[in-house]
Chains A and B, each alone.
Chain A
Amino acid sequence: MPLNDTGYAYAVGRIRALETRLLDKSKLERMIDAPSAEEALKVLAETEYAGAVAELADVHDFEIILRDEISRCFALLLKMSPRPELIGMMALRYDIHNLKVLFKAKYLGVTADLLMPAGTVAGEKLKTMVEEEDFRDLPGAVRAAAERVVEEFAVNRDPQAIDLNLDRVLFARLLESARAARSAFLEGLFLRQIDLANIKTFVRVKRMGQDREFLKKALLPSGLIPAGRLASLLDEPLESLIAQTAMSEYAAVIGEGVRDWLEKGTAAHLEKLADDYITAYLQWGRRSPFGFEPLIAYLWAKEIEIKNIRLIMVGKINKLPVEAIRERLRHVQL
């Protein structure tokens, strides 16, 4: 690796300190057991979120805390990482989200107010780009995808195609950057995310009763499980997916998750297992003392934490049964 690994020593040190402030399982459990949303928020007020919680006027606005937290987290990591572009890479998701929003808003003729601030390109700038259909300032692959979206939408006016195209380029771009950074760790991460997304997509498309052509469009290319192989399984019962992947590293996720889906008709468990799988994968990166891996692992841990908080808060506000919340709660590794 060309990079001097000690460059990360400072950042890793800080991450180690920050990691201890992530919500642990007992805090989350206490939030779940809280009798009301207000009580759950009080638990949150004992943690790093204290300041944000204090400013909150209404429990229903808890999303603001989460949104600010993710932006803050990105800003912090960008500042302390000696190679900010690696962190920027992780924020590409938000750019893609913003692009989707802007495209849809443009075609609907409404103003876009769902932009996420964590993206690498400022919202206003993206907005002008989409409005003028001039994507010269975007990185190569994204630019091509944006142009393709414009082209395709003119023909078929299908909003799903916007999402599919942009999702596809997101992962293509992530893989490309990981390879450019010569990081097997990152490449592995993205490949696994692609696979897990594809498995979920596969089952969903199958349930929707769509045909193979559609599935091919919906699957992300270049995962560890070739998209073609998944597509060829479409006409067979779901059990054969389990059998076919029994030898792969996803055997546990697919076996348990898909079976649960077949039995209960809900994908909750599969989605949880998929997230847990990524958490476990990042675990070995976390231990590395001198690399950027702990930063990525921290970012993921933060995202999972936010996911968990959201799950609990939505659950508490709407009085979901405790088991429904608990079975969807993502595993936290500390």
Chain B
Amino acid sequence: MEIRVNPTRMELNRLKKRLKMAERGHKLLKDKRDELIRQFLILVRKNKELREQMEKELSAAFAKFLLARAVMTAETLEEALMYPTRRLTLAVKKQNIMSVYAPRFEWGEEESGRGEAGSIYPYGFVDTSAELDISIETLSGIMPQLLELAEVEKAVQLLADEIEKTRRRVNALEYVMIPKIRETIRYITMKLDENERGALTRLMKIKDVVRAKM
């Protein structure tokens, strides 16, 4: 169990220093873990909310899209959506949550055409179904939230990894490292005391022998 060391006073001092360090580290890591979990919970809640909302809206949009698909030929549908009017620019930056680097998306929508006052529908009306309009409208509307969801979800993943790592470290310190050092310290102290007692007895013995000879 204990670390194999020479039972010397120097070693004892060294180990005492290590113990102090380990305890301090343990406390710090524990604080970090608690804070990480707090942040994590906030994000997870937000994630859940966003995801549920997205799933609802997306499935509605897809259902509409499906219906539009059912009444249009594949070619007409694809032709209609071939040339998008909007272009999304996405810049990925870093954000620091408790020294976890989660991505931060910055996006901008630019119109690829300078045409009709920001029309999001890139097609004509004759061959296309009105159900396509609704689908496109929903999809175009939820794009920012989708990106936000991606951002939050990634952050949650990274945080979860980090929490896992920190917890492991805290546990390692708490249940392995610190008891081990304590044990060793006790061992060394005992050994040193034993030595001291041995030396004392020896001295007394010698004193007796010397006194008897006089």
Contacts and interface: CB of A to CB of B under 8 A. Distances in A.
Interface in B57-74: 66-67, 69-71, 73-74
A interface majority secondary structure: helix
B133 interface: yes
A282 interface: no
Interface in A206-238: 207-208, 210-211, 214, 217-218, 220
Given A210-B117, A307-B71, A311-B70, A163 B124 contact: yes
A43 interface: no
Contacts of A122: none
Contacts of A211: 117
Residue of A157, A159, A205, A218 contacting most chain B CB atoms (<10 Å): A159
B82 A105 contact: yes
A76 interface: no
A28 to B, nearest CB: 14
Interface string A48-86: 000000000000000100110000000000000000000
Contacts, number: 140
A158 B131 contact: no
Nearest to B77: A114
Residue of B66, B84, B124 contacting most chain A CB atoms (<10 Å): B124
Contacts of A105: 82
Contacts of A311: 70-71
A201 B113 contact: no
Contact of B126 (A158, A160, A220): A220
B82 A116 contact: no
A114 B82 CA distance: 10
B112 interface: yes
A270 B70 contact: no
A201 B71 CA distance: 16
B66 A197 contact: no
B130 A97 contact: no
Contacts of B117: 210-211, 214
A218 B115 CA distance: 14
Contact of B74 (A63, A107, A197, A318): A63
Given A108-B83, A114-B82, A214-B116, A160 B75 contact: no
Contacts of A324: 67
B127 interface: yes
A328 B126 contact: no
Nearest to B84: A159
A288 to B, nearest CB: 28
A158 B115 contact: yes
B68 to A, nearest CB: 10
Interface residues of B, number: 36
Contacts of A310: 70-71, 73
B119 interface: yes
Contacts of A318: 66
B4 to A, nearest CB: 68
Interface in A161-217: 161-164, 166-167, 170-171, 197, 200-201, 203-205, 207-208, 210-211, 214, 217
A262 interface: no
Interface string A308-334: 001100110010100011001000000
A104 interface: yes
B212 to A, nearest CB: 107
A65 B149 CA distance: 41
A271 B115 contact: no
A167 B115 contact: no
B95 interface: no
Given A167-B124, A314-B66, A324-B67, A200 B75 contact: no
A108 B82 contact: yes
B70 A97 contact: no
B126 A207 contact: no
Nearest to A261: B130
Residue of A163, A166, A170, A197 contacting most chain B CB atoms (<10 Å): A163
Given A208-B121, A266-B130, 17 more contacts: A93-B127, A100-B124, A107-B83, A114-B78, A157-B114, A158-B85, A159-B82, A159-B85, A170-B126, A171-B126, A204-B125, A204-B133, A208-B119, A208-B137, A211-B117, A214-B117, A318-B66
Interface of A: 63, 66-67, 93, 97, 100-101, 104-105, 107-108, 114-116, 156-164, 166-167, 170-171, 197, 200-201, 203-205, 207-208, 210-211, 214, 217-218, 220, 261, 265-268, 270-271, 307, 310-311, 314-315, 318, 320, 324-325, 328
Interface of B: 66-67, 69-71, 73-76, 78-80, 82-85, 112-117, 119, 121-127, 129-131, 133-134, 137
